[in-house]
Amino acid sequence: MFRVVLAELRKLRRPTLVLGTLGAALFFAALVTSFLFLLIDSADGNGDRGRTIGREVLTLASGSVTGFSSVGGLLGLIALCVFAAQTAQEYTYGTLRNLLVRQSGRLRILGGKLIANVIFAKIMVLISAAVSIGISIALAPGAKVTTELWFTSAGWSAIIHTIINVVIAVIGYGIFGMALGLLLRSPISSISVGVLWMLIIENLLGAVKESALDWLPGSQLNTIAIGGSETISYTHAMQVGGAYVIGISIIAAVLFSRRDVAN
């Protein structure tokens, strides 16, 4: 397993992938965090879907990571794309047969691939968190937000909890991407289906029947990233989201371990 992780990391560290992924992650982290402070007095709101997050929220101990927790879903989508592409490309390039000849334990290949991608995603999350918090510190004075509580012990605890929640959500998204990559065996198809479902279909279903969001996977993962919401509790999101992730992981693992590698 350890050798599989190292081999996967060799593939993941190529500059175009690292810079492309980090570029997208940092762009969204900077954008969402900047809007939070720059549009604090806007009548159209400064949060997602026109929500207003006022100074009273941003001055709390968790204020430094309010922006970062909002970007968790987008980081998750980036992870979904990376995990899906890294898995499905083994089929489109025909490289899976090389991997299986060198390491015939298919579940070891899958496990190693997952661990390497999780390491990659964690690095992406940590750098995005640092950038988002840095932007928050820089923009807080201009937005007349006091930062006194941000780096108290409660503030540090909020930072750590938020990062952990975003990492859990991002890994959940990534596992969905990986499973789609294994099921569809094409990077374009798996990314399209994943993004379409998470960004559009779930929102449409939620618009038709709001209570549906309580049970949809993307909604649960977003809720985990922000540490729970008014409508979905953190525990509920962890239980339902976890069940989805475990379910799709089992299906993908069984298919991968039994399916003939004919391309």
Which residues make up the interface to another protein (CB under 8 A)?
3-4, 6-7, 10-11, 14, 16-17, 89, 93-95, 97-105, 260-263
The rounded distance, in Å, linking the Cα atoms of 181 and 74 is 19
What is the total residue count of the chain? 263
Comparing CB distances to another protein, the nearer of 178 and 226 is 178
Shortest spacing between CB 119 and another protein, in angstroms:
15
Q: Which two tokens stand for residue 10?
A: 């060799």
Q: Which helix (H) or strand (E) holds 33?
A: helix 15-38
Shortest spacing between CB 263 and another protein, in angstroms:
8
User: Distances in Å between the alpha carbon of 94 and those of 99, 100, 190, 206, 208?
Assistant: 10, 11, 17, 39, 42
Shortest spacing between CB 153 and another protein, in angstroms:
43
In this structure, what DSSP letter does residue 94 have? S
Comparing CB distances to another protein, the nearer of 89 and 132 is 89
Q: Given phi > 0 = left and psi -120 to 50 = alpha, else beta, which region is 228?
A: left
The rounded distance, in Å, linking the Cα atoms of 238 and 53 is 25
Comparing CB distances to another protein, the nearer of 5 and 248 is 5
Comparing CB distances to another protein, the nearer of 62 and 89 is 89
CB atoms within 10 A of CB 247: 12
Comparing CB distances to another protein, the nearer of 15 and 43 is 15
Shortest spacing between CB 125 and another protein, in angstroms:
24
Comparing CB distances to another protein, the nearer of 152 and 263 is 263
Shortest spacing between CB 4 and another protein, in angstroms:
6
Q: Which two tokens stand for residue 115?
A: 């661990």
Shortest spacing between CB 256 and another protein, in angstroms:
13
Shortest spacing between CB 8 and another protein, in angstroms:
8
Shortest spacing between CB 13 and another protein, in angstroms:
10
Q: With beta carbons less than 8 A apart as the criterion, state whether 170 and 76 touch.
A: yes
Give one DSSP letter per residue of 120-185, joined into a string.
HHHHHHHHHHHHHHHHHHHHTTTTT---TTTTSHHHHHHHHHHHHHHHHHHHHHHHHHHHHHHHH-
Comparing CB distances to another protein, the nearer of 102 and 144 is 102
Comparing CB distances to another protein, the nearer of 104 and 211 is 104
User: Distances in Å between the alpha carbon of 165 and those of 24, 47, 70, 210, 223?
Assistant: 20, 19, 11, 24, 9
Nearest CA-CA partner of 69 in 136, 20, 137, 22: 136
